[in-house]
Amino acid sequence: MPTSPPKTQAKTDKLSTPDGFSPEEIKNLSSVLNAMLADVFVLYLKTKNFHWHMSGPHFRDYHLLLDEQATQIYEISDPIAERVRKIGGTSIRSIGHIARLQRLADNDEKFVNAVDMLKELHNDNKALIESMRAAHEVASKANDYATTSLIEVWIDEAERRAWFLFEATR
């Protein structure tokens, strides 16, 4: 029966990846992807917050729109974290880690009117698009085709969310 490695060895073992990224590329890619992941979690929670607290004459439409958008945002969190692991990095480990990396602001207000909610989410999606573009540049420089391909789809999804939010406020 095989024995497990000593605990000290297990703590120092690194993920061996076939991709051949340098330690510097792994560091850079992990950094931009983890920051993007933190913002994805912040945007997900804010979108759900606004979904839960929506009110007004367009309640049903906005409530459903934000639920759909939150689901789409959440669905990219696992692929981002797994991509960090696939390239040999480590991903976000806690809410505190998210808080240290997030660039999008939380919204803890007791009341936000519906149009202001949509405008804030529009701006946050635009900011997420910019961080995705920055991550795409880092991945492109590392010839990380898998990451650039994923990010391109996520940018398109975020642009669509931003467009819907913008049109709903006109």
- C-alpha closest to that of 82 among 125, 131, 146: 146
For the chain, give the percent of residues with pLDDT over 70: 89
Q: Tell me, what's the pLDDT at 118?
A: 98
pLDDT, residue 20, reads 84
pLDDT score of 12: 44
Q: Which residue has the tokens 């650039």?
A: 148
Q: What is the mean pLDDT of the chain?
A: 93
First to last CA, the chain: 68
Q: Count the neighbouring beta carbons within 10 Å of the beta carbon of residue 160.
A: 13
Domains of the chain in start order, with CATH, are: 22-168 (1.20.1260.10)
pLDDT in tens, 7-55: 554 444 455 655 689 999 999 999 999 999 999 999 999 999 999 999 9
